[in-house]
Chain A
Amino acid sequence: MTARAQRRSLAEKLGLLRELELFSGLSDADIEAIGHATTMTHCRPGQVILSPDDPSDRIHILKKGKVRVYRVTPEGKQLTLDIYEKGTILGDMRLLGQQAIPEAYAQTVDAAVICTITPDELRRLIERHPIIGVNIISHLSRRLQEAERDLEAMAYERVGQRLARKLADLAARFGVQTVRGTLIQARLTQQELAEMIGTTRETLAHTLSDFRSRGLVDTSHHQVVIRDAERLAEVAADEDGGE
C-alpha cells in the first residue's frame, strides 16, 4: 500500500468520495463508440446492476435512464450515495488504476439501458478504436506520474515546493482563466489540500498565507486563484522551496 493510500481520510475509506467517472478523458464520440460495440441490456426499474460480488473487471455504460448507487449499512439499511444519469460509466475502476467504492451497489431507478463491457471486449474495442487505447494509456501514465511525483515529493521536498507543485498540477487539470488569474475549479478544504501534500492543515494554512502575501495566489471560499504562475513555477522548481 502506498503512503498516499494509507493517508486516505475516514470519509474516503467509507467510499463516500469516489466519483464514478471512468474514462473521464475520453470524448463523447469514443464513449458512444464503446456503447455501440457492446451488448445492451434493458433493465426494469429497481434492478440491481452492480454489487460488490460482481466480477471486478466489468465496465457499464448507462445509455438511458437513471441509476442509484448505494451502500448497505451494517443494520441492513440502504444509504444512497449518488444518482447518475445517462452517459455515466459505472463499474469497477481498477482497470484504470482507480479504486472501487467498497460495498457499493447500483440499482436502476427507472427503465434503463446499460452496455456492459468485459476485458476481452475492451481489448477488441481498442483494436478497432486505437484512440481509446491511447487515451487509456495517457490516463494511466498521468496517474502513475502523479503517484510517483507525490511519493517523491513526500520524501524529499519541502512543504512550499510541494504545495507549489500541487497547485500548478491542479491548475493544469482544473484551471480556468479569470481576470484575477487561473482559478482552480475544484472546491478544496485546507484539510484536503494538506492531505494531498502530506502535511498538517496548520502548516498548509501557514504556507498558503505566505504564498498569498508574496502575491503568488489568492484564496476565497475554498478556491485558489493562481496570481503569478511564473513565480509559482519557480517555487515548484526551487530546491529550497522558498519557505
Chain B
Amino acid sequence: MIEIASPFPRLSASSLPAMSGAQMAEVDRRAVDDFGIDLLQMMEQAGSHLAELVRVEVGGDLRGRRIIVAVGPGNNGGGGLAAARHLANRGASVRSVLARPVNRLSPAGRHQIATLLQMALECCVAIYDVPGEELDAELESADAVVDAVLGCRATGEPHEEVGWLVRRIAASSAPIVSLDLPSGIDSDNGNAAGVAVRATATLTLALPKAGLLSEAGRAHAGRLYLADIGLPAALYAGLGIPIDVPFALGRIVRLDPDP
C-alpha cells in the first residue's frame, strides 16, 4: 500500500474502546432518544467528513474528479448520499448507484436522494437502471469509489441486489473509500461471510468497530480513519464506556493499528 502524506492527526487505535455492532446500535438509539441528536444530523457529519477524506485520497482537489458512490438501502447508504452532495458541491462529478430501488431506502436515505434529484445529480439503481458492463467500466475508470453499501448493522453474506453491487465494487481496481466499515465484513469479528470490499481507506464513525481492528478486518479496511459525528461523552458515560477526547486535534483522525 502506498502511504500518502496525511493531513489528519494520528491516534493509536488501542487508546479507544472498540465497539460491537450491538453497542453502536444502542449508541445511535441514545443519541436520538436521549440527546435529541437525530439521524440526519449524524448523517450530515458522516457525509461531510467522508467527502473530506475522499478529497485527500484523490490527491487534494475534488474538482473534475469522477466519484462513484455505491449506496445501500440502510443508513450507511444515507451517509453515502450525503457525501455525494458534499462531493458535488466541492466540484466532483458524482454518480450515485443505489443497490435497491428508491422506495426501499431508509426514510433518511430517501430524504437524501430527494435532495440529490433536486440538484440534478446522476442517480441510478443497480441492475435496473444501469447495465452491469456500464457499471463495471464506471467503477474501473472512477477516480474513487465510495462504498456506502453496508454498515455496522449488517450481518451475514450480502445477498440479492446488495450482493450484486458489493461484488462489482470488490472487483474494481479504483481506490475505494468505505464508510464505517468495508461492505461485507462483520463489525464484531472482521470476517467476511461472502464477498467483501477491500478498501483503500475506511472512515469509521464515532468509535472504531471491533471488527476493523481484528486481523481479518484490518486486511479489508486499508488506511483506517475515525470521524466525529458529534456524540457527547455523556452518552458513552451512560453506557459505561469511558473515552478520552479523541477529536481534540481534528474531527477526522488517522487510527494507527497496534503493533
Residues of A in contact with B (beta carbons under 8 Å apart) = 9-11, 13-14, 16-17, 19, 68, 70, 73-75, 77-83, 187-192, 201-202, 205, 209, 212, 219-222
Contacts of B215 in A (CB 8 A): none
| Contact status A79-B124, CB under 8 Å | yes
A-B residue pairs, 5 tightest by C-beta:
A11-B114, A80-B125, A82-B103, A80-B128, A80-B101
| Contact status B107-A10, CB under 8 Å | no
Bits for B121-164, please: 1 = Cβ < 8 Å to A, else 0.
01111001100000000000000000000000000000000000
Interface residues of B in 85-124 (CB under 8 A from A): 101-104, 106-108, 110-111, 113-115, 117-118, 120, 122-124
Q: How far is the CA of A79 from the CA of B113 in the complex (A)?
A: 11
| Contact status B117-A73, CB under 8 Å | yes
| Contact status A19-B117, CB under 8 Å | no
| Contact status A82-B39, CB under 8 Å | no
The verdict on A79 contacting B38 (CB below 8 Å), with A68-B128, A73-B120, A220-B29 known, is no
| Contact status B111-A9, CB under 8 Å | yes
A-B pairs with beta carbons under 8 Å apart, 9 shown: A9-B114, A16-B114, A19-B103, A79-B124, A80-B125, A81-B101, A189-B38, A192-B107, A205-B38
Q: Total contacts A to B, CB within 8 angstroms?
A: 85
User: Quick one: which of A70, A73, A80, A191 has the most chain B CB within 10 A?
Assistant: A80
Query: What total of chain B residues lie within 8 Å of the partner, measured CB to CB?
Result: 29
| Contact status B101-A220, CB under 8 Å | no
User: Quick one: which of B104, B108, B125 has the most chain A CB within 10 A?
Assistant: B125
The verdict on A80 contacting B114 (CB below 8 Å), with A75-B120, A189-B107, A202-B36 known, is no
Bits for B25-56, please: 1 = Cβ < 8 Å to A, else 0.
10001001100101110000000000000000
Q: How far is the CA of A222 from the CA of B39 in the complex (A)?
A: 10
Q: What residue of chain A has the Cβ atom nearest to residue B115's Cβ?
A: A10
| Contact status A70-B36, CB under 8 Å | no
Partner of B33, one of A19, A74, A81, A219: A219
Contacts of B128 in A (CB 8 A): 68, 70, 78, 80, 83
Q: What residue of chain A has the Cβ atom nearest to residue B26's Cβ?
A: A220
The verdict on A79 contacting B104 (CB below 8 Å), with A191-B40, A220-B29 known, is no
Contacts of B32 in A (CB 8 A): 190, 222
Contacts of A16 in B (CB 8 A): 102-103, 110, 113-114
Bits for B157-201, please: 1 = Cβ < 8 Å to A, else 0.
000000000000000000000000000000000000000000000
Min Cβ gap B29→A in Å is: 5
5 more A-B contacts (CB under 8 A) besides A74-B120, A79-B125? Answer: A10-B114, A11-B111, A80-B124, A82-B102, A82-B103
